[in-house]
Structure 1
Amino acid sequence: MEHDGHRHVVCTVTAGQDVRLWLRDGDGRVWGGFDRLEAALAARGERLVFAMNAGMYHADRAPVGLFIGEGGTEGRVVTAAGPGNFGMLPNGVFCVHEDGFAVVESRRFADNPPDCVGASQSGPMLVIEGAVHPRFIPGSPSRFVRNGVGVSADGTTAHFVISDRPISFHDFAGLFRDALETPQALYFDGNVSRLHAPGLARSDRGRQLGPLVGLVVAD
């Protein structure tokens, strides 16, 4: 998809599809990337349609905030402002429900935790109630390859997006607000952003990753 002169890859999923989050394998080892995960799924007769990094992480690749995925829950919801992009409030949590998806502002999530079968906290929010994050500056020179997720108003559709080239926060958020029309969208990361999409003959490498999100189908 092209928007305002910037090209992006958009992976769209709908309620009922098998969207999962991963961090560690059954032995507690961080997956770290796409190859081992894809091989493990294939051994169970499953196929990874696409996957991307799904939130910020520490040097040991543990999540900065809350993470819920295969293998259980790790970390906790962080509601305080802090340094870096994660702490640029409001930040949020991407949640996979049994019947759809949500991006929930972190403090609201902490006050009334929804029932998520998978979740990843990250920040900042890109779009909040249909408005671009107030701290994003039009024309900002800070540009990175970025990825994130936006959810439709009815919660039945989620768009996972990675920019083709470095882009500002403001321009990246504009794609979610104006082109994808998602009233809530969440930033996953920048610079480290990676996408695995076999249908596009693409599998980005060169970085050990923390939390991952992707779509799985029976093979």
Structure 2
Amino acid sequence: MRFDGAAYRVVTVDLRHSELTLHWRNPDTGQPFAGIDALRDWGKQHGKILRFAANAGIYDHKGAPLGLYVEHGKVLKPLNTAHGDPSAGNFSLQPNGVFLIDRQNHARVLSTDDYRAQHPDPRLATQSGPMLVIDGALNPHFLADSSSLKWRSGVCAPTPDRVVFAISETPVNFHAFARLFREKLGCRDALYLDGTISQFYDHGDYFGPPLFMTKPYAGMFAVFEDAKDS
């Protein structure tokens, strides 16, 4: 997809037909997957073909999710409500937020404050930041003429059963990336996942920054297909 002169890879997951999952540690070993290739190989060992994968948000220097992280209904990291210093990282740019899929398999994006107030019971959730779009408005901290250009990835849920991921194929600023979600993808709420290290795996191909720029991940989104059904 092209928008306002920039190229993006956009992937839509229809939750009525595909299961979106989160993965941090290999359940067989307890060790972090750390990368998409390891996640793909694990799936293959269990009779599953990886169709889509993406990094699931910002993590700390120890390789653990920096904020809320929920897999299979289990909270592995709690909600992080610390504001911190915005100059120290994107997670501290306010407001930050949470992408979640609830027990009814409905997806949504909430600001961290709204998540704390509403107490949802997610099947999966990942906290990241900043929010790109908040109730139809661009994050007010974003500047249209910002010179901070990076590869960027994000997620939204235009409807409860449809999740949309996007990654830039060239460096863009926050303002341009947020406009993509609001004006092109029809999202009233959208969440930033990460920057230069971000990567999408889509049916065997990689999209985003050059592979040498990526680093080990913590959580990763995935869509697997049973090998017998392919």
Structure-1-length-normalised TM-score = 0.94
1:91 corresponds to which residue?
96
Residue identity opposite 1:75 in structure 2: K
User: Deviation digits for residues 32-79 of structure 1, max 9, x if unmatched?
Assistant: 001111111112221111111111111221011011125942221112
Contact persistence 2:73–2:124 (CA under 8 A): no
Q: Secondary structure at the match of 1:141?
A: coil
Match of 2:146 among 140, 143, 160: 140
1:46-195, aligned counterparts within 5 Å? 46-69=48-71, 72-83=74-85, 84-97=89-102, 98-152=104-158, 154-195=159-200
Equivalents in 1 of 2:73, 2:13: separation in Å?
A: 23
Equivalents in 2 of 1:29, 1:71: separation in Å?
A: 20
Correspondence 1:12 to 2:17: no
The Cα of 1:215 is off from its aligned counterpart by 1.4
The Cα of 1:112 is off from its aligned counterpart by 2.1
The Cα of 1:15 is off from its aligned counterpart by 2.2
Residue identity opposite 1:188 in structure 2: L
Equivalents in 1 of 2:188, 2:73: separation in Å?
A: 30
Q: Secondary structure at the match of 1:110?
A: helix
The verdict on how the C-alpha distance between 1:14 and 1:45 changes in structure 2, with shifts beyond 3 A counting, is: same
The verdict on how the C-alpha distance between 1:57 and 1:36 changes in structure 2, with shifts beyond 3 A counting, is: same
Structure 1 residue runs without a partner (length 5+): none
Worse-superposed segment, 125-134 or 9-18:
9-18
Q: Secondary structure at the match of 1:38?
A: helix
TM-align CA RMSD: 1.6
Structure 2 residue runs without a partner (length 5+): none
Equivalents in 2 of 1:160, 1:177: separation in Å?
A: 13
Contact persistence 1:25–1:71 (CA under 8 A): no
Q: Percent identity?
A: 35
The verdict on how the C-alpha distance between 1:105 and 1:183 changes in structure 2, with shifts beyond 3 A counting, is: same
Match of 2:224 among 213, 216, 219: 216
Worse-superposed segment, 56-65 or 108-117:
108-117
Question: Which structure shows the bigger proportion of residues in helix conformation?
Answer: 2
